[in-house]
C-alpha cells in the first residue's frame, strides 16, 4: 500500500485516495474547433510509461483535493507531490 504525501494533509495511506490517471493531459479549451483526431487523443489515448509518471490522485477520504503525484510506475517510488494548481517541474 503506497504512502502518499498530500500537500494539504501530509502523509496518508493509499486507501484514502482514488487514482485519477495521467496528470499531463490538458483538456482542450471550450468553444474551440478541434479535429476528430485531436479530440480522440484527448479522450482515449494515454501513454503508459514504465518509470516516471505524473499522475492525478484524489484525496477522497481526506481533504477532497485533487493532487499531482510524480511516481515511478515500476518501483512505486514517489518523488514529489504537488497541489492541483502548483507548477510541476
Partner 1 sequence: MSQDFRLDKIGMVNRNKKISFTFNGKKYFGYEGDTIASALIANGVHLVGRSFKYHRPRGFFGVGVDEPYAILQLERNNERDPNIRATEQEIFEGLEVKSVNCWPSVNFDIGAINNFLKMFFPAGFYYKTFMWPPSFWYKIYEPFIRMAAGFGEASIKHDKERYEHKYEYCDLLITGSGPSGLASAYAAAKNGARVILAEDKPRYGGSLLTSDVNIGNQTGIEWSEKIITELKSMSNVIVKNRSQVFGYYDHNMLVMSERISDHLPKTQKYLPKQRLWYIRAKEVLISSGSIERPLVFGNNDTPGVMLSSAAKEYMKVYGVLVGKKPLIFTNNDSGYETAIEFKKNGVNPLILDTRKEPSSDIISEAKNLGIEIKFSYVVVAAKGYKKVKSADIAKISDNKKDLSNIENIECDCICVSGFWTPSIHLASQSGNKSEFNEKIDAFIPKKSKQKENTIGSANGKFTLEETINEAFEKGYEVSNKITENNNKVSIPTVVEKKSTEHDKFWCVPLPKGKSYKRFLDFQNDVAVTDIELALREGFRSIEHVKRYTTLGMATDQGKTSNLNGLQLVSDIENKVVPQVGHTTFRPPYTPVSIGAIVGREVGKHSKPTRKSPMHEWHEKNNAIFVDAGVWLRPRYYKQGNETLFEASKREAKNVRKNVGVCDVTTLGKIDVKGPDAAEFLNRVYTNAWLKLPVGKARYGVMLREDGIVMDDGTTTRISENHYHMTTTTAQAANVLSHLEYYLQLVWPELNVNVVSTTEQWAGAAIAGPNSRALLMKLFPNTDVSNEGLPFMGYKEADLFGFPAKIYRISFSGELAYEVNVESDYGNFMWEKIIEVGKEFQIQPYGTEALSTLRIEMGHVAASELDGRTIPHDASLEGLVSKKKDFIGKRSLSRSAFIKPDREKIVGVVPLDKTTSIPEGSYIVKDPKAKLPNPKLGHVSASCWSVEYDNPFSLAIIKDGKNMIGQKLFAMSPLKNKTIPVEIVSSHYVDPEGKRVRA
Residues that bind partner 1 (CB under 8 A): 1-3, 13, 18, 20, 27-28, 30-31, 34, 36, 39, 42-44, 56, 58, 60, 64-66, 75-76, 78, 84-85
Rounded Cα–Cα distance for residues 75 and 71 (Å): 8
Q: Which of these, 80, 53, 63, 52, lies nearest to 18 by C-alpha position? A: 63
Q: Which of Zn ion, partner 1, none does residue 20 bind to, with CB < 5 to 8 Å depending on kind? A: partner 1
Beta carbon of residue 48, minimum distance to partner 1 (angstroms, whole number)? 19
Q: Which of partner 1, Zn ion, none does residue 74 bind to, with CB < 5 to 8 Å depending on kind? A: none
Cell numbers 478541434 label which residue?
34
Q: Which of partner 1, Zn ion, none does residue 6 bind to, with CB < 5 to 8 Å depending on kind? A: Zn ion
The DSSP element (H or E) to which 40 belongs, if any, is helix 36-43
Beta carbon of residue 68, minimum distance to partner 1 (angstroms, whole number)? 9
Answer left, alpha or beta for residue 36, where phi above 0 means left and psi between -120 and 50 means alpha.
alpha
Amino acid at each position: 500500500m503506497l504512502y502518499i504525501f498530500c500537500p494539504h494533509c501530509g502523509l496518508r495511506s493509499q486507501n484514502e485516495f482514488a487514482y485519477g490517471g495521467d496528470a499531463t493531459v490538458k483538456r482542450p479549451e471550450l468553444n474551440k474547433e478541434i479535429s476528430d483526431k485531436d479530440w480522440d487523443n484527448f479522450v482515449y489515448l494515454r501513454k503508459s510509461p514504465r518509470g516516471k509518471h505524473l499522475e492525478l490522485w484524489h484525496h477522497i477520504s481526506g481533504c477532497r483535493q485533487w493532487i499531482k503525484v510524480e511516481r515511478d510506475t515500476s518501483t512505486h517510488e514517489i518523488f514529489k507531490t504537488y497541489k492541483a494548481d502548483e507548477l510541476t517541474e
